[in-house]
Structure 1
Amino acid sequence: MSKKEKFPLYLTPEKKALLERRYPEDGSRSLTAFIENAIDFYLDYLSANNAGLFLPTSVQSYLDGRLDQLENRISSLLFKQAVELDMGLSTLVDCVQLGEEYLKQQRAESVANVKRTNGRLRLEEKVRDANGSDDEWQD
């Protein structure tokens, strides 16, 4: 066993009491051993620079599986949304002739609207804005 150096460690009385009460939980025989284990763990964590290395394999596997399911679900929903949008735009193009300049102006307005509303657009609000009405829609 290597020689140890003593140095002052300042803690609040509450933190010291908590340490004294809980240090045996990890099998440490003293506060010094507990603090050394905690320092070793944190230094290893900093060296690894990846908290995933400290997760149990079963937890990591579960999280990966759930994230894969979420990714598949979101991908499927985005594909369906893109299909519906394409159908709507194709129908609109078949019915209405729109000029290039109008489309550029509309795109700029749409970008501004999405930014302003953080993407929470409602058809009722667009109709109300187009009609210049201040009446609230009933939900």
Structure 2
Amino acid sequence: MEVPEKENQEVKRRFQLWVMPSTLELADQYYRSDNCASRSEFIEKAIQFYAGYVSSQQNQDYLACVIPATVKGIVDESSNRMGRLMFKMAVELAVIENILAAVCEVDQQELKRLRGQCVEEIKRTNGMISFEQALQWQKE
């Protein structure tokens, strides 16, 4: 016997269901508290709920594989970009160093002392030093 359902015009079909008596008692016990009109409606809702649960488990398994791969791709691309930028910065720094070396007359002893002072200053400022700070430091 087929009865059209009001909500979505899908036709319900009757079929035989084999369950344990204790399971049937559970359905009888809870279908009214779930605002179901019948035991059949309760069982149908239970099947839909369980299907959603199984689907969410499959989605979790899928996401557990996809998310780390996606994050790794983002991190790898970011690392590559940072490496290229650091290379460009190193080239520009080498150009500036060579220009300064050609213009300035600093002996090896003075350069060694300055390098040691710079290392200490960079450690103290945690790598954050501006040109203004360097200029002020040189004038002291």
- TM-score normalised according to structure 1 size: 0.53
Q: Structure 2 residue aligned with 1:123, among 108, 115, 131? A: 131
TM-aligned CA distance change 1:103 to 1:130, over 3 Å: closer
Corresponding residue of 1:95 = 103
Kindly provide the CA deviation profile for residues 20-46 of structure 1, in whole angstroms up to 9, marking residues without a partner as x: xxxxxxx7xxxxxxxxxxxxxxxxxxx
Aligned mates of 2:123, 2:72 — CA distance in 1: 32
Kindly provide the CA deviation profile for residues 44-78 of structure 1, in whole angstroms up to 9, marking residues without a partner as x: xxxxxxxxxxx711011101100111101110110
Corresponding residue of 2:69 = 61
Kindly provide the CA deviation profile for residues 86-139 of structure 1, in whole angstroms up to 9, marking residues without a partner as x: 00001011112321111110110000000000000011112223334xxxxxxx
- TM-score normalised according to structure 2 size: 0.53
Corresponding residue of 2:84 = 76
By relative contact order (CA 8 Å, sep 6+), the higher-ranking structure is 2
Corresponding residue of 2:58 = none
Corresponding residue pairs, total: 82
Amino acid at match of 1:112: E
Aligned mates of 1:63, 1:93 — CA distance in 2: 44
Aligned mates of 1:106, 1:89 — CA distance in 2: 14
Highest Rg: 1 or 2? Answer: 2
Q: Is 2:102 the counterpart of 1:86?
A: no
Aligned mates of 2:70, 2:106 — CA distance in 1: 51
Structure 2: tracts of 5 or more residues without a match: 1-52, 54-62
Which portions of structure 1, spanning 4 or more consecutive aligned residues, are displaced by more than 4 angstroms? none
Amino acid at match of 1:130: Q
